Structure 1
Amino acid sequence: MTPIMRGLGAARCATWAVLPALALAALGPPTYTAPPFPTSAFSSYYVAPTGTQQAQPVIVDPVSGKTYEPELTDPNTIPQQASIPPLPLPSGILDSSEYLRSLALAQILAIANSSAPAWKDSCTKCLAGTSVAKSLAAVAPSEIPTLAIELCEKLQFSSSCNVTFSILNYGALVAQLLQMADVAGLDGQNICNYIFNGLCPAPSASPLGDLSLWFSKPKPSDANEWVQRRRTQAGQRLKVLHLSDVHLDPRYSTGSEVNCTSSLCCRNPSSSQGVAHVQFPAPYYGAYKCDSPLALVMAAFQSIPNLTDTQATGFAWSIYTGDLVSHDPNNQLSQDYVTYTETVVYEQMKRYLGSGPLYAALGNHDTYPAHLDIPHAGLPDDIENEFSWNYEHLSTLWEQEQWISPNEAEQARAHYAGYSVKRQDGLRIITLNTDFWYPDNYFAYINMTNPDISGMLRFLTDELQAAEDAQERAWIVGHVLTGWDGSNGLPNPTNLFYQIVDRFSPHVIAGIFFGHTHEDMFSIYYANNATTISAATAQTVAWIGPSIVTLGNLNTGFRMYEVDSETFEILDAHTWYSDASSFSTLDHEGPGPTWKYEYSARDAYGGGINWPSDAPLNATWWHKVTERMEADPSLVQKFTTYQGKLSQLTPACTSADCVKQKICYMRSGSVPISRQNCQTPQ
């Protein structure tokens, strides 16, 4: 870290003291009650909204021209198994061999049940067993789904083995993974840790090696000077919307059981729950254990312009940090279900959120099978391109909505739905497919010694270098966060991401934005891999946006940023919510949910911090907030209350252990840092 960068905090204060005041953005009313369902939003319906049924609109896909059939979203006809395999089986030497499968099964069971010294622990057994399965996958991959079912049943891994490992579900995925992964090395250790629930200990992050191979140029010693020049300009406060995690459930069944014991709640009993008598009927606008009915999504979209006072102007731009699709098990999903959801949600965002562009990232649920994306790494074409249908659909949809250009759409097709937009105002917005550091993406366990097998982080680095060369600022938009408690990402790619952020902060990266947790959170990135954690070393902050969905005992919410038009730094963040516990009193005919202003980040956390009134809420400020939390633990409870969007069901955080751990999470921007620094309270 150069002396200039170390002194940037002081230099900022000196510069901000002479900045012209930026007028506070005007907001709408403190509360707004949504009107009833806007039937004019859709041209026709299979089922119009009633007191007992959600609206089921007729949707024509603007990309494919397909009219989606009513059975796709009918709550009474939810499939219990896919009709065609979601992924192809890889090729092998033999078409099939029941004999080889029986040998593999016997050998793996013998290893699992052995007490011999050679199989001394669960990790050794797991690695040996997966090696046997890999041998079968190389010769007769068509036998792998049946082998997986047999092992699952005999070792009692699950009560739904036939469904989970069917060729119509994860069967082909297991065969592909076994063929391509190094199951005797780091890949196998991670598979046995993540997929097999801790049979191997979690591997540490691998050394990254010579980072000069990643960065074509060193960080400029005078990098902050052009940022300082921007700060002396008379900027404006732009309104920028952050939405996340809609999780539309087009099969939501009003009046079904809210408090179910299996699968997704607020569904008809015949579909998933096995509930004989409904004790807690699902309200029309949603519930705490359910995904979002269309009624809630439309109520939110109608309310946002009124609450933010953007009815006439729209937002300067909006970001969406992923997860459109409901939390269905894979056997109830399909490509059509995903593209239907993408079409509905993005079309209604275009309708209600104004003329400004929306920049979106793909979430882990926004694909089929869920969580999966495969790297373009010299694999056979039928495997390498098996998710291109989704990149094609999303990129074309975004282009048709005029949010991105044809060139940017082509970039999205080539980079797993990730792309970079160079805006005319000097901001570069880079969206990423974060499935490549998500533990539930089983394809991320291929060649794990390479922290960037997908090339996604190389793409990010090249875009940030181009932004630095052009003296632009950049926003990074993704879904799965890289840090916090260490459970959301994989060690190697999140470690590399952290080093990329270090190299290009704070002079290029003006903000990082994630979703995924459904909660209102933040994460701070420090210089030199957080070897020293202080206000002086704080470089960048990730804003983790609240969700529209209420699943997880949360209220529904959204956020709007006030952004400096010259520096693209965030001057304040405003959050609104609606209390899902009030939805039981609402129906389709009367007024919809009431949305309320929740808080201003500057007002909620800024007391007691010596900070200029027009200075941005950057990483230095957020670190000072965490210092205040250490001095006043009640501020952690305030944060926790906002984390759940004022849900009465959010657990309190008042013990000394909880306070310490949560502050540590706020200061952890990668999985290795979280694991190293943050201890679980006893």
Structure 2
Amino acid sequence: MPQADEAEKFIYVKLGRIDSLTWSDAEVVVFDCPCALRHMYHNNGALNLPDSISQEDNQPLTDGGTSESPPTDKCTLCMNTVKEVYAVYEANKSHSDLRDAVLALCNFYRKYNEVVCAGVINVHLDMIIYFAEHANNDTITRRFCSLYLPPGSCEFEDEWVVNVDLGTKPDVITPSVPSILNESAVIVHVSDLHYDPTYTLGNNAVCDAPTCCKEDQGRPTSPSDGAGYWGDYRNCDSPLQLVNNTLQHIKQHHQKIDYVYFTGDFVYHGMWESTKEQHTQIITSIVRAFNETFQDTPVFFALGNHEPIQANAYAPLDVDTNVSTKWLFELVSELWSPYITEDAKQTILQGGFYTVKPRDGFRVIVLNNIVCLNNNYWLAYDSRDPYNQLKWLAETLLLSEREGDKVHILYHVPTGMNNQWGSCLKIWGREFHKIVDRFENIVAAHFTGHTHYDEFHVFYSTENASRANGVSFNGGSGTPFIDVNPNYKTYTVDPASWNVVDSDMWIFNLTDANSKPEQNPDWFKLYSFRDEYRVANLLPAQLDSLAHRMAANHTLLQEYYRFYVKNADPSLAKGCDDACLKERLCEIVTVESGDLSKCEQLDKEFDLVPNKH
């Protein structure tokens, strides 16, 4: 490769400078350059490619530009680059040539250091080859770029609906709970533990890799940049002692627990060193720790985006090669067996989703909704209700309606999410919303994870957007990654309706805990939702009203931000300005990615406040 300044000059002269794109945190950057990849490597000696795949100046790269006059829209730039990558492989089917080409791009753009680039490409190479051999056409390439690029750069060219008879929707029954509960159920919600078995006390917490504090990253020059005993606010995942202490504290301080929900992400963010053996070990150890801690208390697990070897990548079932995800489904179908039925095992094997009835009148449905995450590039290959999961969901809810069940739905990714952690495919979110709207009388609550923040979301009727008819609660994270305190949550639930009456957030301050490594962290209840926000319960109408109160009361909204980041020192130091506060409001009322109708209404209410904060 040329030196950095020479390379930048080459790109500017030959291709025209382009704005940097938005990357996924769990995927190698190989597609931001509209370069004539074969031409650049041939002329600069980065690869010794055959003359048959080199190009002369001004020869068309692909449709949409030449090496002197490149296309300007990001979608075409991305598609051209994907085709160039495929062409390197098509020349002689050489795995090593393809690897070297993609590695050169990763190093050229310095997304990660050379070690991470090489590792990520090794982990993903078989997946790239599969796409080159089975999905090398304009339609799939365009879909890939639409998933990869920022919203609005490329339209995702696919349209489908879930083909299932939902029956006639019964008259809506407004949910309610008694003002005083004679009895209650308690649910503990844990999410996103991200256990890192290579976490090393004192090692570098400020590194140029996706996650730091690792065994092979060495000691920092400054001791202040060293990893803390109980974890670190910076790009570091959970040490074993943090995972164990979290579960032990829950068991010791909550005598009555009816169910435990875990909404995904057992595995840490080390996507450049992932192996099947490593992920198997991590998932197995975490599940066994839950089983040993809670014993006869049922634990219901959902899969997250970091469980596959290639992060985010849940392959279709007909992909039966070494990039298949079947090994993961087989693993968890056995590990989760103490709390699930044989029927549940079978649906896990078909896509990582299942349902159980822990008692009469109550059903738990667990989805694998990483199939909606835009960072799951298998959606370019097949996006149409992957695993037929939404059809199964609708049929399961129909059964629940006939049997008189109330339902909790668990999944990893909030369906309206659209931020640095990715977004849920608009079509999938729309179809999901239609289904849960149809069954609003029986779906009592949703439980999610992924973002690592303490947040809630309100669903609205598809026929009357002013009527709230569903609620979702995020479990936060057991890891402090990034700039948050570790947490878990407890919910007080009415066992007659399975509606959530209250929730408590439990945290410890990581700065304080790391200053006393010889002592256990000082866990404490950060707040009670009902007391803090002065709501009667956590039903949809109450939370919709709360969102409007926050728009009008910025002091209350700032308090929401404090809880959102779980009172973490670095996030509180950064603060949350008006734009940040509006984002928090928008997240609350968005359950379909890209649908900003409710956001616009709250924005106007926010702007009416004369003296902010």
Matches within 5 A, 1:468-507: 468-485=401-418, 487-505=422-440, 507=441
Distance 2:505 2:135 in 1: 44
Q: Distance in 2 between matches of 1:199 and 1:165?
A: 28
In the TM superposition, what is the alpha-carbon distance from 1:572 to its structure 2 partner?
0.7
| Aligned partner (choices 573, 583, 588) of residue 661 of structure 1 | 583
Out of 76, 84, 90, the position equivalent to 1:124 is: 76
Aligned letter for 1:421?
V
After superposition, the C-alpha distances for 1:410-458 in whole angstroms (9 at most, x for unaligned) are 321222x21111233211111111221112222122144x3x1332222
Deviations 1:319-367 (A, max 9, x none): 100111111133x221111111112111111222342110100111112
Residue type matched to 1:124 in 2? Answer: T
Matched, 1:604 2:532: yes
The reply to whether residue 427 of structure 1 matches residue 385 of structure 2 is: no
1:205–1:219 distance in 2 versus 1, CA, 3 Å? farther
Deviations 1:89-137 (A, max 9, x none): xxxxxxxxx9997645649994598267784534224324434555676
Deviation sequence 1:148-182 (CA, Å, 0-9, x none):
33555667776539944887321121122244447
Query: Does structure 2 conserve the Cα–Cα contact (< 8 Å) formed by 1:520 and 1:642?
Result: yes
Q: For the residues of structure 2 that align with 1:571 and 1:641, how far apart are their CA atoms? A: 22
| Partner Cα distance (2:479, 2:105) in 1 | 36
Structure 2 counterpart of 1:298, from 244, 258, 263: 244
Q: Are residues 99 and 582 of structure 1, via their aligned partners in 2, closer, same or farther at CA, if it must alter by over 3 Å?
A: closer
Which residue pairs with 2:292 in the alignment? 351
CA distance in 1, matches of 2:165, 2:143: 28
1:335 partnered with 2:276:
yes
Residue matched to 1:16: none
Q: Considering only aligned residues, what root-mean-square deviation do their CA atoms show, in Å? A: 3.4
Distance 1:375 1:657, change over 3 A: same
Tell me the residue number matched to 2:23: none
Structure 1 range deviating more: 436-445 or 117-126: 117-126
Q: 2:343 matched to which residue of 1?
A: 407
Q: 1:110 to 1:546 in 2, by over 3 A?
A: same
Distance 2:121 2:67 in 1: 33
**Whole-Å Cα distance in 1 between the matches of residues 546 and 187 of structure 2?**
23
Of 552, 571, 581, 2:482 maps to: 552
Which residue of the partner structure matches residue 258 of structure 1?
205
What are the residue-to-residue correspondences of 1:368-407 with 2, within 5 Å?
368-376=309-317, 379-382=318-321, 386-399=324-337, 402-407=338-343
Contact 2:204 2:220 in 1 (8 A): yes
Alignment-mate amino acid for residue 203 of structure 1: E
Aligned CA distance change for structure 1 residues 238 and 147 (closer, same or farther; 3 Å): same
Match of residue 511 from structure 2: 581
1:518 aligns with 2:446: no
Q: Does 1:218 align with 2:168?
A: yes
CA contact (8 A) 1:561 1:571 kept: yes
Q: Pick from 303, 308, 320: which aligns with 2:254?
A: 308
Aligned to 2:443: 509
Aligned residue in 2 for 1:12? none
Task: Determine if contact 1:137/1:179 at 8 Å carries over to the other structure.
Answer: no
CA–CA distance in structure 2, aligned partners of residues 235 and 181 of structure 1: 59
Matches within 5 A, 1:228-247: 236-247=183-194
Deviates more, 1:294-303 or 1:385-394: 385-394
| CA spacing shift, 1:335–1:155, aligned 2, 3 Å | closer
The reply on whether 1:645 has 2:566 as its aligned counterpart is: yes
Q: Distance in 2 between matches of 1:157 and 1:281?
A: 23
Which residue among 109, 112, 126 is the counterpart of 1:172?
126
C-alpha change, 1:672 and 1:594, in structure 2 (3 Å) is: same
Q: CA deviation at 1:258?
A: 2.8
* Structure 1 contact 574–600 (Cα < 8 Å) conserved: yes
Q: CA deviation at 1:292?
A: 1.0
- Residue identity matched to 2:138: A
Q: Deviations over 1:614-656 (max 9, x none)?
A: xx41111110111111221111111111111111222566644
2: CA distance, partners of 1:243 / 1:157? 32
Residue number in structure 2 paired with 1:288? 233
Q: How far, CA to CA, are the matches of 1:371 and 1:424 in structure 2?
A: 33
Q: 1:201 aligns with which of 127, 137, 153?
A: 153
| Residues 314 and 378, structure 2, Cα contact 8 Å, conserved in 1 | yes
One-letter amino acid matched to 1:189: R
Kindly state the Cα deviation for residue 405 of structure 1 after the two structures are TM-superposed. 2.2
Change in CA separation of 1:299 and 1:157 when aligned onto 2, cut-off 3 Å: closer
Change (3 A) 1:369 1:485: closer
1:502–1:182 distance in 2 versus 1, CA, 3 Å: farther
TM-score, normalization: structure 2?
0.80
Aligned counterparts, 1:148-163, within 5 A: 148-152=102-106, 160=114, 163=117
Q: Is the 8 A contact 2:120 2:271 kept in 1?
A: no
How far the C-alpha of 1:561 sits from its partner, in A, is 0.6
Contact 2:195–2:268 (CA under 8 A) maintained in structure 1: yes
Asked if residue 466 in structure 1 is aligned to residue 399 in structure 2, the reply is: yes
**Larger RCO: Structure 1 or Structure 2 (Cα < 8 Å, ≥ 6 residues apart)?**
1
Q: 1:643 to 1:105 in 2, by over 3 A?
A: farther
CA distance in 2, matches of 1:150, 1:258: 27
In the alignment, is the contact (CA less than 8 A) between 2:513 and 2:521 conserved in 1?
yes
The change in CA–CA distance for 1:294 and 1:141 in structure 2 (over 3 A counts) is same
CA distance in structure 1 between the partners assigned to 2:204 and 2:115 by the alignment? 26
Distance 2:481 2:283 in 1: 19
Aligned equivalents of 1:585 and 1:637: distance in 2?
Answer: 28
Stretches of structure 2 that go unaligned for 5 or more consecutive residues are 1-46, 608-613
Query: What amino acid is the match of 1:434?
Result: N
Query: SS at the partner of 1:604?
Result: helix
Aligned pair in 2 of structure 1 residues 362, 140: CA closer, same or farther (>3 Å)? Answer: farther
Determine helix, strand or coil for the equivalent of 2:237: coil
> Aligned partners of 1:241, 1:348: CA distance in 2, in Å?
15
Q: Deviations over 1:260-279 (max 9, x none)?
A: 343422223xx136845644
Cα distance in 2 for partners of 1:166, 1:282 equals: 24
Amino acid in structure 1 at the alignment position of 2:327:
W
Alpha-carbon separation, structure 2, partners of 1:105 and 1:640 = 54
Partner residue of 2:3?
Answer: none
Counterparts of 1:165 and 1:157, CA distance in 2 = 13
CA distance 1:525–1:200, shift in 2 (3 Å)? closer
- Conserved? CA contact 1:464–1:504, under 8 Å: yes
Displacement, 1:201? 0.3
Q: 1:509 to 1:149 in 2, by over 3 A?
A: same
Instruction: Classify the secondary structure of the residue corresponding to 2:595.
Output: helix
For each residue in 1:190-212, what CA deviation from the matched residue of structure 2 results, as whole angstroms up to 9, or x when unmatched? 422443x4497042686556x6x
Return the alpha-carbon distance in structure 1 between the equivalents of residues 434 and 92 of structure 2.
42
Structure 2 CA distance, aligned partners of 1:582 and 1:350? 30
Aligned partners of 2:361 and 2:406 also within 8 Å:
yes
Letter in 2 for 1:570: V
> Residue by residue, what CA displacement relative to the aligned partner does 1:23-73 show, whole Å, maximum 9, x if unpaired?
xxxxxxxxxxxxxxxxxxxxxxxxxxxxxxxxxxxxxxxxxxxxxxxxxxx
Question: SS state of the match for residue 639, structure 1?
Answer: helix
